Amino acid sequence: MAAHGLQERRNTLAKLKTINGGRAWQGSVDDEAIIPRHTEDGSVMAYAVITFGAPVKTKRDRNLTNSELGQPHVLGATIACVAGDPDDAQDLMADVIELLVDWKPSESADAYEAKGGFGSRRPATENVPTRYIEGLYLETTVNQGVDWDHSVQN
Domain count, the chain: 1
Q: Establish if 34 belongs to a structural domain.
A: no
Residue type at position 8 = E
Q: Which of 32-41, 64-73, 137-146 has the lowest mean pLDDT?
A: 64-73
- pLDDT interval class at 105 (50, 70, 90): very high
Domain that holds residue 117: 6-29+46-142
Q: Which residues pair with 15 in a beta bridge?
A: none
Residue 119: give its domain's CATH number: 3.30.2000.10
pLDDT digits (tens, 9 = 90+) for 109-145: 999 999 999 988 887 667 778 899 999 999 999 987 6
Residue 21 gets which letter from DSSP? G
pLDDT at 70: 76
The pTM of the full predicted model, rounded to 2 decimals, is 0.86
Q: Establish if 77 belongs to a structural domain.
A: yes
pLDDT at 147: 56
pLDDT at 143: 84
pLDDT at 15: 98
**Alpha-carbon span 11 to 105, nearest angstrom:** 6
